[in-house]
């Protein structure tokens, strides 16, 4: 893959050590904009474990190379390969996803993809419903103190539900109009954007800049 060659050219390992086995990591919240790097200068592969249940239409998950797929903890990725691997004592076929937001590679067992929350891009109609969630005037979490609100918003992000993530994006955006966001609030906003913006742009057939303008208009209304 061109990206892999590019990373190797930047890292310039001398001599190149044997690649370490991909790290087995349970996903929690969406990562920041930079991929997790191994000691050889390459993005780590992540073996996912099932996150909390997310909405499903009940259809079997079946992706082909080149398909876009949404990972509940990392956002939109492209299926770059389907390979037989052995990781963390687990043998079988794996979807290899390249997360579009940061280039991270994520590995999901094909036999457990649905349980892991892997799904296709939402439809345009579903995207309209998510945008309606952003238009709502309610506040999703009204708890004191802030630590309790932060935990509640974090669980919403981890839920894998686009509507729950949209509520976090909405509440943090509106809070930004009233005050400077704290570090924790900025983190929540960035995580929600990372998980949702690309998928909504794909679903609505817009560029991310066009979608960002649409969302800005929603919050100015």
Domain of 63 in residue numbering reads as 2-112
Sign of CA dihedral 31, 35, 37, 43: positive
pLDDT at 163: 96
Q: Are 138 and 70 members of one domain?
A: no
Q: Are 213 and 163 members of one domain?
A: yes
Residue 118 counted as domain residue: no
Q: Domain end: 112, 136, 157, which one? A: 112
pLDDT at 221: 75
Is the Cβ–Cβ distance between 81 and 10 less than 8 Å? no
**Residue-level length of the chain:** 221
Residue 205 counted as domain residue: yes
Structure tokens, 124: 């345009």
Which of the residue ranges 49-53, 147-151, 156-160, 205-209 would you say has the lowest mean pLDDT? 49-53
3-class state of residue 49 by DSSP: coil
Q: Are 212 and 135 members of one domain?
A: yes
Is the Cβ–Cβ distance between 138 and 170 less than 8 Å? no
pLDDT at 144: 86
Residue 172 counted as domain residue: yes
- CA–CA distance from 130 to each of 71, 126, 127, 160, 174 (Å)? 17, 6, 5, 13, 16
Residue 20 counted as domain residue: yes
pTM over 0.95: no
Q: Domain end: 112, 138, 165, which one? A: 112
190-204 residue pLDDT tens: 999 999 999 999 999
Residue 150 counted as domain residue: yes
Q: Are 43 and 95 members of one domain?
A: yes
CA distance 217 to 221: 6
The whole-chain average pLDDT of the chain stands at 78
3-class state of residue 205 by DSSP: coil
Q: Are 9 and 105 members of one domain?
A: yes
CA distance 87 to 21: 8
Q: Are 101 and 177 members of one domain?
A: no
3-class state of residue 200 by DSSP: helix
Residue 165 counted as domain residue: yes
Residue that has been written with the tokens 């945008």 in this structure: 131
CA distance 118 to 55: 11
Q: Are 8 and 100 members of one domain?
A: yes
Q: Are 16 and 81 members of one domain?
A: yes
Residue that has been written with the tokens 């918003």 in this structure: 153
Q: Are 6 and 108 members of one domain?
A: yes
DSSP 116-169: TT-BPPPPHHHHHHHHHHHH----S---SSHHHHHHHHHHHHHT--HHHHHHHH
Residue 153 counted as domain residue: yes
Q: Are 144 and 185 members of one domain?
A: yes
Total domains present in the chain: 2
CA distance 11 to 27: 26
Q: Domain end: 112, 142, 167, which one? A: 112
CA atoms within 13 A on the CB side of 151: 5
pLDDT at 24: 34
9-26 residue pLDDT tens: 333 344 444 444 443 333
Q: How confident is the model at residue 184 (pLDDT cuts 50, 70, 90)?
A: very high
Q: Are 106 and 138 members of one domain?
A: no
């Amino acid at each position: 893959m061109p990206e892999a060659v590019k990373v190797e050219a930047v890292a310039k390992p001398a001599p190149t050590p044997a690649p370490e086995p991909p790290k087995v990591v349970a996903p929690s919240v969406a990562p920041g904009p930079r991929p997790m790097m191994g000691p050889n200068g390459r993005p780590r592969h992540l073996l996912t474990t099932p996150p909390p249940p997310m909405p499903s239409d009940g259809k079997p998950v079946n992706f082909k190379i080149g398909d876009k797929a949404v990972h509940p903890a990392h956002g939109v990725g492209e299926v770059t390969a389907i390979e037989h691997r052995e990781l963390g004592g687990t043998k079988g076929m794996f979807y290899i996803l390249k997360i579009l937001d940061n280039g991270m590679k994520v590995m999901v067992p094909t036999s457990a993809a649905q349980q892991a929350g892997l799904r296709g891009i939402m439809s345009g109609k579903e995207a309209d419903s998510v945008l309606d969630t952003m238009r709502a005037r309610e506040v999703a979490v009204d708890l004191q103190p802030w630590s309790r609100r932060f935990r509640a918003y974090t669980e919403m992000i981890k839920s894998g539900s686009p509507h729950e993530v949209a509520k976090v994006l909405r509440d943090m955006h509106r809070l930004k109009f009233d005050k400077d966001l704290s570090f924790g609030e900025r983190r929540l906003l960035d995580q929600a954007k990372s998980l949702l913006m690309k998928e909504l742009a794909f679903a609505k057939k817009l560029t991310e800049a066009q979608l960002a303008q649409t969302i800005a208009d929603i919050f100015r209304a």
